[in-house]
Amino acid sequence: MRTSAIFVSVLAASVLASGAWADKLDDIISSGTLRCAVVLDFPPMGSRDADNNPVGFDVDYCNDLAKVLGVEAEIVETPFPDRIPALVSGRVDVGVASTSDTLERAKTVGMSIPYYAFENAVVSNSKVEMASWEDMKGKTVGATAGTYEAIWLEGQIKEWGEGTFRPYQTQADVFLALSQGQLDATVSTVEVAEANVKSGNFPGIKIVDKAPMVPDYVALFTLREEYGLLNYLNLFVNQQVRTGRYAELYEKWIGEGEPADLNIPGVYR
């Protein structure tokens, strides 16, 4: 009985110790594969093309990262709520999944410097009279559960003290509900809003206004203690901008114009 208890604790200690000493960056390089968590329900950042292949800004970003590491990229489709379980259970190495770098989340995972920034738009059902974002007051609104805009919108509804907030599990469900009139309005990234209005998959929706939010800075993420890898990710993001690849990917997936400035004026990092 006692011997087995000692054995178990020694085993546990050695497992923990080996976990702490292994460097993820080395693991990736030696395994020859970089596994990225990417959300493929979030065009134009991640989606599937007609042949069911993953495509999008985040997919290309992962491929770029794999290329500089000299390894193969493996895109692991991960819905928004599954990003952290996928990382922690070791199914993926890095998240390239348009993840907002909130302080609350940074307590759990390690965030790189921002690699993209979204602006958000209010999209409404065409039958609903709306002129500005403030007309969402008292309406039934919804967004994709767990996203930056969902957290903002739910907070806004609480502040107004009227109206209903509904989180759906996927972006597609939000726009389906909006198109059917179950929701009066939603807040989504300008990129997603424009892509969905243009695609015609969701008839009867229109873009109303910009949402008055701080731009949604999104970061790459990995395990919190993997400083070696986080360091590399930071430099990678920096290089993507420096080499013009950031602007190139922006033009390829989002369109003409300037990509958002990733520099926050007046502060370091």
Partner 1 sequence: MFNYTFQWKQAMARLPQMLDGAIVTMQVAILSMVIGVLLAILLTMFRLSGSRILSAIAKTWVEVARNTPALFQIYMAHFGLGSFGLHLSPFMSLLLGITFNNAGYLAENFRGALKAIPDTQTRAARSLGFGATDAFRYVVLPQMLRIAFLPMTNQMVWAILMTSLGVTVGMNTDLFGVTQDLNALTFRTFELFAIAAVIFYVITKIVTLGARLLAIRLFRY
Q: Which parts of this chain interact with partner 1 (CB under 8 A)?
A: 15, 18-19, 80-81, 84-85, 88-90, 104-105, 107-109, 142, 145-147, 150-151, 164-169, 173, 176-177, 180-182, 223
Q: What are phi and psi of 46, to 5 degrees?
A: -155, 130
CA angle at 204 for the pair 200 and 207, rounded to the nearest 5°: 85
Closest by Cα among 205, 160, 202, 161 to 186: 205
Kindly give the pairing relationship between strand 94-100 and strand 216-222: antiparallel
Only one residue has tokens 């993001």, namely 237
Cα four-point dihedral sign 126, 129, 130, 136? negative
SS3 139: coil
CB of residue 67 to partner 1, shortest distance in Å? 26
By beta-carbon proximity to partner 1, the closer residue of 68 and 106 is 106
Report the alpha-carbon distance of residue 175 to residue 173 in Å, rounded: 5
By beta-carbon proximity to partner 1, the closer residue of 63 and 102 is 102
CA distances from 84 to 14, 37, 52, 88 (A): 25, 9, 24, 6
CB of residue 187 to partner 1, shortest distance in Å? 15
By beta-carbon proximity to partner 1, the closer residue of 53 and 108 is 108
CB of residue 228 to partner 1, shortest distance in Å? 14
By beta-carbon proximity to partner 1, the closer residue of 154 and 241 is 154
Only one residue has tokens 């369109």, namely 255
Q: Is the peptide bond before 44 cis (omega within 30 degrees of 0)?
A: yes
By beta-carbon proximity to partner 1, the closer residue of 19 and 32 is 19
CB of residue 64 to partner 1, shortest distance in Å? 25
CB of residue 169 to partner 1, shortest distance in Å? 6
By beta-carbon proximity to partner 1, the closer residue of 85 and 212 is 85
CB of residue 200 to partner 1, shortest distance in Å? 16
SS3 content of the chain, % helix, strand, coil (to 5): 45, 25, 30
Longest Cα–Cα distance of the chain, Å, equals: 73
CB of residue 2 to partner 1, shortest distance in Å? 26
